[in-house]
Structure 1
Amino acid sequence: MEDKQYDYDMESGDAFFEELEQDIVEKGYFKTHVQLTKSATMIQIHFHTEGTVGLTCDRSLEPFEEPFISDEKIILKYGDRNEELTDEIEIINRNTPRINIARYIFEFIALSLPFKKIHPSLRTEDDKNGLTEDEDEVVLVYSSQSDDETDEDEPEEKIDPRWEALKKLKGE
């Protein structure tokens, strides 16, 4: 390959996910635009993928289609060995004749899926913790009084007479 930019468009479906040995996605359809920029020291690959995958709801176990969009980039630097430096940067052998980008496409699809797989009809319900998306702010209340000061100012709590009698038996 010459040192220049190459553009590729590809699309795939269920056969792509069946070919890979994984349990995350079984069905789906997507289109990917790959922009590969080759230079003397590295290859930069930009992936733009859009599509839908078939998932199973974690709550109702009903199948549903989840749309996704992924826009990721990976840099392959030439070196003496194959090594993954970071999530975005890898070293490949200078004599590598072919690069299989299927694993990158799958990883980016898998990373774009939601952690909780909830059917769209159930997404309006509150989560088990009672917070909706708008309520995930935390309110911090600050008081300048120490715990010792608050105990003195507050009247002693009234204790149920039944518990008071039990305390006497216990010797308190």
Structure 2
Amino acid sequence: MKSLQQYRIPFTGLKIGKHQFGYELDERFFAEFEYSLVKNGKLTVLLEMEKQETMLILSFTIKGIIFLSCDVCLADYPYPVEIAERQIAKFGSSEEDDMDEIIILGRNDHEIDISTLLYEYVNVAVPYINRCADEGNTEWCDKEMISRLESLAPKEESDETTENTADPRWEALKKIKNN
């Protein structure tokens, strides 16, 4: 977790107004999170933090590529990512409920850790189904794996054999449907 130290922003010494920060996310960042969907990537983070009297407004812009494993051919391929998110951190007491949309910072807090926010934003950007062909990355597709899968796929039967082995109960149901 020492490598995540750079993602802690001390806000106590900052003047009221807008401040900008820049970060690079790569495999070292993702290695810090055990169950991350993303294991490697090259992302640039631009953070604009607006400090106000009672809150911090964090505006994130994350651009770059992450490497995903294709669900079909299992090849790793680059997936372009462009994320724009906003987070509000409010100064308050620790007794207040921590909401999903707003981070509550205690009176004794002097820095904010954005590493978990960055981790969540990137992992939420991962598509539910990963297919390299969907992204137009056919050069990354493992052709040998696709040919093996096609050879192991069940062969389609012709309509004639299907009709001959049809269950007579289905034929009776088809007659009822047609009436």
Bin the TM-score by the shorter chain: 0.5 to 0.7
Deviation at 1:91, TM superposition (A): 1.3
Name the CA distance, whole Å, in 1 between partners of 2:129 and 2:135.
10
The structure number with the bigger radius of gyration is 1
Q: Which residue of 1 aligns with 2:43?
A: 30
Q: Partner of 1:148 in structure 2?
A: none
The residue aligned with 1:147 is none
TM-score (norm. length: structure 2): 0.63
Q: Percent identity?
A: 24
3-state secondary structure, aligned to 1:40: coil
Q: Distance in 2 between matches of 1:84 and 1:64?
A: 38
Backbone CA RMSD of aligned residues = 1.9
1:16-41: CA deviation from partner (whole Å, max 9, x where unpaired): 11122323111111001000011111
Calculate the TM-score normalised by the size of structure 1: 0.66
Tell me what 2:5 maps to. Answer: none
Higher relative contact order (CA 8 A, sep 6+): 2
Q: Which residue of 2 is the match for residue 92 of structure 1?
A: 105
Residues 36 and 45, structure 1, Cα contact 8 Å, conserved in 2: yes
For 2:53, the equivalent position in structure 1 comes to: 40
Please give the alpha-carbon distance, in whole angstroms, between the structure 1 residues aligned to 2:106 and 2:47: 21
Deviations 1:33-79 (A, max 9, x none): 00001111101000000011111111221111111000000000111
User: How far, CA to CA, are the matches of 1:110 and 1:31 in structure 2?
Assistant: 15
In structure 1, the partner of 2:157 is none
Q: Is the 8 A contact 2:58 2:88 kept in 1?
A: yes
1:108 aligns with 2:93: no
1:3-22 equivalent positions in 2, closer than 5 A? 3-22=16-35
Q: Secondary structure at the match of 2:113?
A: coil
Give the conservation status (yes or no) of the 8 Å contact 2:69–2:76: yes
Distance 1:48 1:117 in 2: 23
Aligned residues: 124
Quick one: distance in 1 between partners of 2:40 and 2:76? 11
CA–CA distance in structure 1, aligned partners of residues 97 and 72 of structure 2: 40
Q: Secondary structure at the match of 2:59?
A: strand
In the TM superposition, what is the alpha-carbon distance from 1:103 to its structure 2 partner? 0.9
CA distance in 2, matches of 1:74, 1:98: 15
